[in-house]
């Protein structure tokens, strides 16, 4: 088995771009990633492309060159980009491809995601009565978590303030105006205890990652980033999840696809949470980042309160989290969001992240995605 290494990353800024299609953003990101790797489109042997809004994402070849390349469309909700990257890496590991690409792009309308419940296998009454929404799930999960583990509203505000602060020094981010904890704590409650400035919003953007066999990576770059693991898990019985009218309460409701994907990824990578130097965690809302710190093994339940107070997850802390602003600062174009995480981690591992570069020499980086109706992906990278 070969190992896969990232040799090029590209990103179209996240935000609102009237008149620019998702596919044009995707093609822009691909060109940047190819230029970063020093490759041309004709050298890409295959890959995976993900999008919610673009019905035929493989049609992006019409922007890049009609080489006949096998470009597979993938979708796993908010974990889509994790799938695209993991499958591309897998094709290199098995020897099916020597050079591959993962692409994500999206362009969402404003406001909370709206869809017919049937797209998620949910009965129509659930949507008619006002329950088919992802946002209220996050309010309910963090409300219970705060009750069980002594997490304060102040900690929610600390997470949001940190991510907006990080976004303010990221020229590719969407929400670049820093907000004080007081401004966050006085914004309107959307889903108790979560407030307006504790949520990310759907937006637009694209990202692409070029991979090759690790043993050939130095032909293309002096700073390859190896993919140690890319795992995805769906929910098990008892997981407390988005869009679930009812579930059995097992083990206190602690089952989680994030825990499962995380453990599998650590095992595949042959390392543990103590080895992680920098992380990107799905922060659909401030509460999610807090919960995901523990679900990914990066702290114990309840320790977040102290970690956030001491600034452990800040740019200069011992475990920087969401250094580019995360979803809160960048918004969430679903197909692209996870490749934005990888783009940031690769810059940080190369020590080219500019004013938001974390100190020291980060060697192991961790990326986590979580989406409805209960699917998580985890990617572990290393120099």
Partner 1 sequence: MTETTVVAEGLFTWPAEEPRLIGSECSACGLLAFPAAVQCLRCFATHMQERLLSPRGTLWTFTTQGFRPPSPPYDGNDAADFRPYALGYVLLPEGILVEGRLTEADPANLRIGQPMRLVVIPYTHGGEGSSILTFAFAPDTGEQR
DSSP string covering 341-355: HHHHHHHHHHT--GG
Distance between CA atoms of residues 104 and 59, nearest Å = 13
CB nearer partner 1, residue 194 or residue 358: 194
How many CB atoms are located within 10 Å of the residue 167 CB? 27
Q: How far is the CB of 129 from partner 1 (least distance, A)?
A: 5
Distance between CA atoms of residues 100 and 91, nearest Å = 8
Which tokens in the block code for residue 226? Answer: 């190896």
What sign does the CA torsion over 74, 76, 81, 83 have?
negative
CB nearer partner 1, residue 55 or residue 249: 249
Q: How far is the CB of 137 from partner 1 (least distance, A)?
A: 8
Q: How far is the CB of 189 from partner 1 (least distance, A)?
A: 5
CB nearer partner 1, residue 2 or residue 143: 143
CB nearer partner 1, residue 21 or residue 143: 143
- Core vs surface per residue 81-94: b (16+ CB within 10 A) or e: bbbbbbbbbbbbbe
Angstrom distances, CA of residue 36 to CA of 67, 285, 344: 20, 32, 14
Q: Decide the pairing of beta strands 194-195 and 278-280.
A: unpaired
Q: How far is the CB of 136 from partner 1 (least distance, A)?
A: 5
CB nearer partner 1, residue 141 or residue 350: 141
Q: How far is the CB of 83 from partner 1 (least distance, A)?
A: 23
Q: How far is the CB of 77 from partner 1 (least distance, A)?
A: 17
- Residue the block writes with tokens 């949470």: 273
Contact residues toward partner 1 (CB under 8 A) are: 111-117, 123-125, 127-133, 136, 139-141, 143-144, 147, 188-194, 237, 240, 244-249, 253
Asked whether the beta carbons of 197 and 177 are under 8 A apart, the reply is no
CB nearer partner 1, residue 59 or residue 140: 140
């Amino acid at each position: 088995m070969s190992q896969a290494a990232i040799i090029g990353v590209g990103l179209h800024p996240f935000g609102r771009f009237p008149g620019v299609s998702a596919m044009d953003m995707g093609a822009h990101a691909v060109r940047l990633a190819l230029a970063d790797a020093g490759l041309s489109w004709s050298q890409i042997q295959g890959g995976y492309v993900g999008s919610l809004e673009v019905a035929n994402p493989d049609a992006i070849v019409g922007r890049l060159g009609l080489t006949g390349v096998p470009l597979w469309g993938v979708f796993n909700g908010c974990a889509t980009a994790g799938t695209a990257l993991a499958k591309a890496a897998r094709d290199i590991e098995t020897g099916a491809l020597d050079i591959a690409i993962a692409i994500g792009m999206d362009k969402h309308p404003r406001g909370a995601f709206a869809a017919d419940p049937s797209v998620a296998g949910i009965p129509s009454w659930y949507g008619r009565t006002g329950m088919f929404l992802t946002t209220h799930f996050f309010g309910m999960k963090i409300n219970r978590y705060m009750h069980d583990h002594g997490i304060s509203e102040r900690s929610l505000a600390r997470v949001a303030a940190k991510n907006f602060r990080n976004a303010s020094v990221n020229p590719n981010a969407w929400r670049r105006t820093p907000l004080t904890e007081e401004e966050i704590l006085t914004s309107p409650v959307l889903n108790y205890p979560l407030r307006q400035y504790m949520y990310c919003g759907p937006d637009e953007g694209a990202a692409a990652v070029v991979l090759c066999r690790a043993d050939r990576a130095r032909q293309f770059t002096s700073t390859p980033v190896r993919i140690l693991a890319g795992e995805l898990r769906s929910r098990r019985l008892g997981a407390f999840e988005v869009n679930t009218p009812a579930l059995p309460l097992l083990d206190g409701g602690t089952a989680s696809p994030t825990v499962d994907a995380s453990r599998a990824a650590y095992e595949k990578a042959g390392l543990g949470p103590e080895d992680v130097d920098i992380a990107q965690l799905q922060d659909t809302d401030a509460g999610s980042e807090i919960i995901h710190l523990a679900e990914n093994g990066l702290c114990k339940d309840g320790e977040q309160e102290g970690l956030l107070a001491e600034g452990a997850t800040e740019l200069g802390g011992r475990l920087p989290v969401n250094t580019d602003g995360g979803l809160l600062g960048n918004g969430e174009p679903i197909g692209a969001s996870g490749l934005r995480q990888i783009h940031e981690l690769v810059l940080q591992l190369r020590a080219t992240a500019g004013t938001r570069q974390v100190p020291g020499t980060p060697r192991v980086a961790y990326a986590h995605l979580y989406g409805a109706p209960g699917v998580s992906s985890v990617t572990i990278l290393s120099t």
